[in-house]
Chains A and B, each alone.
Chain A
């Protein structure tokens, strides 16, 4: 069993949980993910790693309640435990494999949309620990849905905020902010790392392609085992079939077939599930949007 050491509500439906998982905490690198299962009958849910502490033996996850399984997870409290917590899965970020002197010459921009801000954090933190400061754009639908802003400010160079409704920072989507930084403020970025919901990543990739900035995206697909067994996570990258779990989760955003990936992501979306989500959102007073800063075209 994997005990929950700390639980925080980051935004109206986004939770942070620090979980006791010493083996994973020791092995973890930025860019990887875990699979959790809360009880005997639960689903195996792939989740982002937001932070890890080898000394303490803890791994921090951040998740948004999007369906029955994540909703049930959100009911767990400090002291409760997950029955299963497996990882670290996927490949560590390319950044962790590149020579430091090369990275130091770069100017990297991270873009986190909604709950996608969570997996951005360990990468920015890791780079900060290597003495490299990066810029970060954090996007959300509205001010209350922004997460990890203070944490990010401690490890990043500049942190820019973009909210769809203008309640904080830039009024508009993350793509608008990115465009402004490059075209109006004359920023030069050697690459961007974009993590968030698919439509937001797709929009960013369309823009960075135009701006000729190499772009890495990290995708969270349907999967069962997370070790290459089921093939549910297959995506097309540059016309080749890849498994997000063992070949990813990071891919070249300019090569990824977003249309196919988004269509495949919806494979198990059932009528009941959609209805349930609407009901949950109504209970929590959330408007019908994904809150990621994509403009809600999901």
Chain B
């Protein structure tokens, strides 16, 4: 065995998977996992841990995998991460744990993410009960939003004995894990459902169909329903548009709309009623994970699909694996290209996009080279659907109905980085609602920190 090379992970073949919504990555089996785990150098000073937002004891769990003690591995991970089956699938490992792996200097880093996923899937399939819970203390905490931040915060507080209720605006718990990330990357019925059930097993109640800020306000929860603290993990759900001419043409959608129809409402299945209507040739504008998700979804619905992105491949914000999967499946990348106008036919439907070529200039605040328009380079491409995947921003439904809750100019809730405490006593926040659209693991980290702070606050209050 070559220690510098990873054990390859089995995947559905591209030709087959573009015709279904089943998971692309099939994961390691026991044999493969043990073999991959044996590559780990078990560093004295493990840099991988330092780059994990929730500090999973990576060499320790990998050692258990190597020895074939998968239950011990699961218990090690569970100490720091309540949603390992999710993180193993969607974390940007290449810039986190795996990015610092010593093996990565000369060869390929250990597949930490795939091993985490293997352990989580193994423990689910073997019904390992990882719940450890302190006695109930009867104190009520409200958690707003059941995405990664909310689930983590609720789970941690329930373990400490709090009486936790999650309020979810949609009809299903999971937040972006359910409405945003597609089935082929994160299976809903097995993985998400199971993680949500685990949180419920800890005693957490989940009330769906409650839009905090509309159905009930945080102040009403405090004053009328006896909650003593609240955590806001309401995410960043508002789609951005480009504000270019023609953007309201029929056939221009936000990635959020397309993904919600397909993921949450299961529009790809004939036995569900929600429709989704994409054309023969689809342009997805943007280069992040959401853009890749939208493009690969459109592909699976039978459309020829193009990514239109204003910078070059190097700057694509999406995970490397997603870009690679998209390419394998046949998504066409139009790089250094930016739309300037959506063209409509006589009935107001999209018939194309007028674009301009871009080149890279000096680095901007994000450290990436700024795209600059190439004068006189405008050209037209034919499309009948355009999907805007330009990022999302937080919803003002909560901040605008909670007096004294400060937000910044991007409508993000202002919260302390270490505790999640907002400008209101007893109200904490974290995840995309605070940072703007970011990653699942960062949201979980924020949920974790806030749970600790809420515990300290309520303990000190007596």
Contacts and interface: CB of A to CB of B under 8 A. Distances in A.
A88 B171 contact: no
B237 interface: yes
Contact of B265 (A23, A87, A224, A229): A224
B241 A23 contact: no
Contact of A87 (B214, B261, B266, B274): B214
A107 interface: no
A217 B319 CA distance: 45
A184 to B, nearest CB: 39
The binding surface of chain B is classed by DSSP as loop
Contacts of A87: 211, 214-215
A89 B256 CA distance: 19
A199 B397 CA distance: 31
B338 interface: no
B169 A86 contact: yes
B269 to A, nearest CB: 8
**Chain B CB within 10 Å — which of A42, A224, A228, A246 has the most?**
A224
Contacts of A224: 257, 260-261, 265, 274
B264 to A, nearest CB: 8
Nearest to B210: A23
A83 B170 CA distance: 12
Interface in A192-234: 224-225, 227-232, 234
Interface in A77-122: 83-89
Interface stretch (A3-11, A169-177, A261-269, A283-291): A261-269
A24 interface: yes
Contacts of B99: none
A223 to B, nearest CB: 9
Given A44-B265, A231-B239, A246 B397 contact: yes
A27 interface: yes
B383 interface: no
Contacts of A228: 237-238, 395, 397
B350 to A, nearest CB: 11
Interface string B180-214: 00000000000000000000000000001111001
Contact of B257 (A42, A43, A227, A230): A230
Interface of A: 23-24, 26-27, 37, 41-44, 68-69, 83-89, 224-225, 227-232, 234-236, 241, 246, 260, 263-264, 266-268, 270
Nearest 9 interchain pairs by C-beta = A230-B257, A231-B254, A229-B237, A84-B171, A263-B348, A86-B209, A43-B273, A41-B272, A231-B239
Given A229-B179, A229-B256, 14 more contacts: A26-B216, A27-B216, A41-B271, A42-B273, A69-B273, A86-B171, A86-B209, A224-B260, A224-B265, A227-B211, A230-B256, A231-B256, A232-B254, A263-B348
6 contacts: A23-B215, A43-B274, A84-B209, A86-B209, A232-B253, A268-B275
